Structure 1
Amino acid sequence: MIDKLIIKVKPGNGGKGSVSFNRDSNNSRGGPDGGNGGSGGNIILKANSNLSDLNKYSFQKSFFAENGNDGSKQKKSGSKGKNLTLDLPIGCLVWEISGENKTLVASILNETSEIELYLGGSGGKGNTSFVSSQNKEPLLAEAGQHSQIYSLELDYRINSDLLLLGLPNSGKSSFLSSFSNAKPEINTYPYTTREPVIAISKVNYSNIKIIELPSIDNGKGLGANYLKHLYFSKFVCLTVEHGENIIEQIDNLLDSISSFDENLLTKKFIVLISKSENVNSDEKKIINNKLLEKFPFLSTLPFYFSNKNSEKNKEILLFVLKNMSEVNNSENDAFIPTINLRNLNINKVKKTQDFYEILDRNFIQLAEGSDLSNWKALVQFQYKLKSSKISDELNNLGIKKGDKIKISNYEFTWEE
């Protein structure tokens, strides 16, 4: 079972604006008619209740939305690129990775979750957008906005009504196979269950989703790799074996949980005592009193599981069915995505020893969408540059006539 992996996604780039003039044999002085480029496709995350793991992303790891189409003559705008929708299982957290840091950017917590995570690049403006009283034949147009590639960690945490956690050979698999459609391997040697087993138990015409985690012992064992699945479980069932020291077994499991994340100790806990065929009612009373005295946070009296009493075994499922609607298994502030306000403090001009580099995104798009090797277009570009706030920044940095300016792949000299 794959419950965590890293993929790369990229929204679509915006389409390029067009430099075009409406001229033909009958109209030699027609005006500009270059259309705008279309926006790139967005990255969308959508819940899919039919998924129970991340296996579909184990082979293809890169996903790109479609680029917007370029604008064209006759003021025709390019079409928008198709969005890319990624289906994710309910309970999947999405983290954006940047270097050694990662930030939660999306949480797929219910069937209606649909998140527009990244917008595609905006389309570039065609030359019709640059007509003015001073420039009636603009040779300028914008390139489409380029989108960056993002690294995302998909972190799936299984939603469940009941999660079975226990030491090796504590009877979890026997219980699961008795009341569900699952057929986990059952044997006498430890760690028979090697990955989470998901099962559905039908009780009174209702479904109860049950997870059995691999065994854990003093924070070790295969189950230690899957403790994150406790986060989205409504009830955590501490499965212990009768005949051993029950209190020590429960302490062992609680210590393992606390070592992973002590906040999980606020979950709803119940206890299932397996292999209880020979436990009489008087002994049960003694056990119950000891456990409630030692562990007052338990949601109810312990339940008992025996291969000889199938009707009595159902009591734990009836309890879960009755109470699971009152428990929110995903109410946790730690899973609220962080809103990042990007690119708010980026310098628009950088001074180096040899030149001044323009870093403003809008002017970079304008340079990349225009043919600045055409001196008329370059004159128009410099005029627009001098009319902007970028000119003030350049002057503050000490630019003077003849200094070199670099923007994207172009270099030219500053003229006053």
Structure 2
Amino acid sequence: MAATAFLGELKMNPFGETFRFSLGTTCYFFGLIWFQQLRPFETGVWVGVSLLLFRALLTHNQGVAWDDALLHHLPSTIYYLLFALTLTLTNLRRRLEKPLMVGIIGAGGDLLANIGELTFRNLLGAAYPLDTHTVLILALFGCLRSFFVVGLYNMLMIRQLRLLGDQQNEQIQHLLLLNASLYEEGFYLHKSMGHIEDITRNSYELYKQLKTEEKSGRLPSGYSRHALSIAEEVHELKKDSQRILAGLDKLLRQDTIEERIELKQLTRLVVQANSKYAQMLGKEIDFHQHAEINLTTNRTYALVSILNNLVANSVEAIQGAGSIGVEVRLSQAFVEWMVWDTGPGIPDSEAEYVFQPGYTTKYDSRGNPSTGIGLSHCLDLTASLCGTLEMTRSGSTTQFLLRMPTSELLQKQREEWSS
């Protein structure tokens, strides 16, 4: 109401002093489209009444009597009532996804309302001609105002959708990284299930041997029972692990986020995440990324886990400032990722220990070493995808080369094609 009243004073008078084209109509029409909880006709009534009182007050302050001021601006209220009635009868609310239709409705409503206002002014004693020339001018200004509003609305909506899309993309990236970490834990939990099964079986075999020894009198009673209790406890541990693994498998279903992802998008995800990690650590690191392979895969979590570990190691190895590169290329039947950095590197004398659990070159502020299991994790995950991971050198720069068979990356796609 307030915005329409004030913007209504930005005007031009094409036919004389009383009739005007103003930005008030533009403001009212935009408000109805943007604030979709508003009802067009009720809003039109309130806007028309407030506009009448506002303009009458301005005219009264110029020395005009209240009756004459109200009567002078009453046709403007008629305009907003007719405009609001047109928007209500044409169900504008249900057509907002069709910009052209909204623009036509707005222009048509503006034209009919202006004709109604001029007719009412003529009834009050004015002499506005309602010929073809006048109608064309009214239609022109109606189209300009209506399609300006529709264009502005769509520009703002596009910007809003882009911001929403960026937020959703960040959430998807966060979920991918989080699920990649869970994938690692699930992978090793699944791997340990075999060991737990072996321990359960061996414990039970020990129980049977001890039971036999007790029956023969070579051992006092009680040992076999103790061995059986151990087997039962390990069995319960196995059941608990199975329940946890089942929950992780349900959580990590690929179709919960994206069924397939492009390798260059996956690589970009890892680089963006570690760029933020470097900023958090207060390091100035330039990331160089080259990935132009038009290939998609569903091995998302395993690949993200491996690459994220390698790039995060590079971030942590660099002191203060440096560069990190992630390059992806197609080499015959393999996809290769090369990860390099300008950090201090790994000495040749320690190269053979790099992938052994416990090896580390990183220490905290107190001198405590890290766990040293990151690269051994990467090696195990790589082996699960039938790939290879090795450390190479280029001068003084340490590089890690990850090679994955394209047949493994495209496995699900081949199955879909064959079916």
Above 0.5 in TM-score? Answer: no
Identify the structure with bigger relative contact order (alpha carbons < 8 Å, sequence gap 6+): 1
Between Structure 1 and Structure 2, the one with more helix by share is 2
TM-score, length basis structure 2: 0.23
- Kindly name which structure, 1 or 2, has the bigger radius of gyration based on alpha carbons: 2
